[in-house]
Structure 1
Amino acid sequence: MRLLACQTTIPATRNRLDQRDHLDALAGRLRTAASQQRPQLIVLPELSSQEYGEQAFEAMDELDDDLQGPVTAHYCALAQELRCPIAFGVARRSRRADGSLQRHISQVVVDAEGQLAGAYDKLHCAQFGASAEAAHFSPGERLVTLDIAGWRVGFMICYDLRFGELAARYRQLGVDLMVHPVAFTRDFSFTSWHSFVITRAMENQCYWLSLNRAGNGWGHSLLCPPLVTPEASPEVLGEEEALVSWQLERDTLERARKRLPLAGDRRQDIDRLATGPLPSPTVTTASQ
């Protein structure tokens, strides 16, 4: 699979006009990048349709989308034009069963025909460090996997990375590539971000694309292979904007899974094992 990973600069967006200007400018850069090497999947960062921060969150009435609004329409048209699926970030508006409004941090995928293919809502809203999401967003309730160019692709967003049971569930679903858009700035959680990505990729034996926005205090996106060795290391970007074409190889997946046979060696009874101190010694009586 050929990925176009877009660590892109996202300007201040406080209203729909700001957002439209940003989306139009980004579309131009995507057209240029896609014309050089045609991708099979274009990926954008978390909330790539708007600024990440309290001022933008307070202007959500101007910036959100219900999958029938201007942001989704923009990417449907662009995906159809480029003949390539696009995974983009947006604040998704929906209604609860009681009719009240809620919003999610979502990664939406439109296919090469410009049709909606899926929408993953972030399961864990971050409320620590530089993140203050809980006052503005609701957690999602479902996982999303899609078959794209013959690959099983799973989705999670930023803070979701920290929960190993979520990644393990995606492994059970047969994911080959995890698309992990993020908004990591330089708070305390930044230091451990790459370590988590490498661990998750290796323990679940899949490619892992962790894609940040560009700019001072952001950046450093990485693509991690399913097995890190002296010959195969994660590819890491800097802070500046970068639209990078990465080729993923199925042979790399198969070799990693064969070389380190976790699937066959993983015990299925861990949750049933006894706990406690050392077992009592067995006392034997000598025969008389």
Structure 2
Amino acid sequence: MQVSLLQCQSGRDVEENLSFIREQLDALAGGERPHLVVLPECCLLFGGHERQQLAYAGDDAGSELKQTLAALAKQYGIYLVAGTIPILADEGRVFSRSYLFDDSGETLGHYDKLHLFDVDVDDGTKSYRESDTFCPGEGVTVVDTPFGKVGMAICYDLRFADLFRAMRLQGAEIIVLPAAFTRVTGRTHWLPLLQARAIETQCFLLAAAQWGEHNQGKRETWGHSCVISPWGEVQAIKPEGCGWLSAEIDLKAIEGIRRNIPVVAHNRFEPPKLKR
């Protein structure tokens, strides 16, 4: 099946970001079906203070951003992992939510980012505190699709192997990862972590990333959108620039790898359990 990952350089202007995505989808039109498209984290709004997310937040039923992205899936006849958008939560905060839409624009499932990026980084921003604006999610998501089971994670989640093991135990064959890794952390950690998660889970990993300088250089992201095979090979990569990274993946490859190295059966540790 065909997969396409969009690498973006999103900013604070929602309409400008949406226009770029539409232009890219116009250029992508056609090809094989089903076609799975993955957008990066914060594809419609990125690079300002996290509190700006609140101005665009809606609830699950009424979010204009959700409706717009669902309409794109229908218009272009694609299965769309719609990056992340803010969805209202309690206590004046929002969830960082990723939706998976089918080619009719219907919602197949969603995932709220579990691990929030509250870290200090030696870059222009210095201190990141997502928990000031975002609520952590409360569950693991694996979505049934006509082409296989799709596990969903977001950016910083990549560092937490238990989440990926939990998705594998729920049947995941493909894991999607919208991301906006910082340039500083991405330079050293991005690719090794992606390959490790793919090898551990024996899943295809589809990681769509933000890239470059955002909002006059106040944020800088690493790019390097990747398609990683369940053997851990880098099947396709886009180190820099905006635009598409496309590849063909064959889920039949998973069967032999899992049969020959049956890590799930061999694992002597209890399955991971999400803390409440």
The answer (yes or no) to whether the contact 1:6–1:211 under 8 Å persists in 2 is yes
The change in CA–CA distance for 1:69 and 1:248 in structure 2 (over 3 A counts) is: same
Residue of structure 2 in register with 1:62 after alignment: 55
The change in CA–CA distance for 1:39 and 1:30 in structure 2 (over 3 A counts) is: farther
CA distance in 2, matches of 1:78, 1:52: 23
Residue of structure 2 in register with 1:47 after alignment: 42
- Tell me the number of residue pairs that the alignment of Structure 1 and Structure 2 aligns: 258
Deviation, structure 1 residue 122: 0.4
Percent of matched pairs sharing the same residue? 28
3-state SS in 2 of match to 1:5? strand
Q: How does 1:153-172 map to 2 (within 5 A)?
A: 153-172=150-169
* TM-score, structure 1 normalization: 0.81
Deviation, structure 1 residue 145: 1.3
Residue of structure 2 in register with 1:220 after alignment: 224
1:28 matches 2:28: no
Q: Deviations over 1:146-192 (max 9, x none)?
A: 12232100001111111121111111101001101111122246411
Deviation, structure 1 residue 60: 2.4
Residue of structure 2 in register with 1:19 after alignment: 14
The change in CA–CA distance for 1:21 and 1:186 in structure 2 (over 3 A counts) is: closer
The answer (yes or no) to whether the contact 2:45–2:53 under 8 Å persists in 1 is no
The change in CA–CA distance for 1:153 and 1:51 in structure 2 (over 3 A counts) is: same
3-state SS in 1 of match to 2:134? coil
The structure with the largest alpha-carbon Rg is 1
CA distance in 2, matches of 1:270, 1:163: 14
The change in CA–CA distance for 1:90 and 1:202 in structure 2 (over 3 A counts) is: closer
1:177 matches 2:178: no
CA distance in 2, matches of 1:158, 1:95: 20
**Which residue identity does 1:86 align to in structure 2?**
L
1:198 matches 2:191: no
Q: How does 1:1-288 map to 2 (within 5 A)?
A: 1-10=1-10, 12-13=11-12, 18-36=13-31, 40-54=35-49, 57-67=50-60, 68-96=62-90, 100-128=91-119, 129=121, 130=125, 131-188=128-185, 190-216=187-213, 217-228=221-232, 232-267=233-268
CA distance in 2, matches of 1:243, 1:181: 14
The answer (yes or no) to whether the contact 2:54–2:86 under 8 Å persists in 1 is no
CA distance in 2, matches of 1:34, 1:143: 32
CA distance in 2, matches of 1:42, 1:93: 21
Residue of structure 2 in register with 1:278 after alignment: none
Aligned-residue CA RMSD in angstroms? 2.2
Deviation, structure 1 residue 51: 1.2
3-state SS in 2 of match to 1:236? strand
CA distance in 1, matches of 2:265, 2:137: 32
CA distance in 2, matches of 1:164, 1:152: 18
Bigger shift: 184-193 or 75-84?
184-193
Unpaired segments of 5 or more residues in structure 1? 272-288
Q: Deviations over 1:214-252 (max 9, x none)?
A: 335431111111113xxx444321111131221110221
**Which residue identity does 2:24 align to in structure 1?**
R
Unpaired segments of 5 or more residues in structure 2? 214-220
Higher strand share: 2
* TM-score, structure 2 normalization: 0.85
Deviation, structure 1 residue 40: 2.0
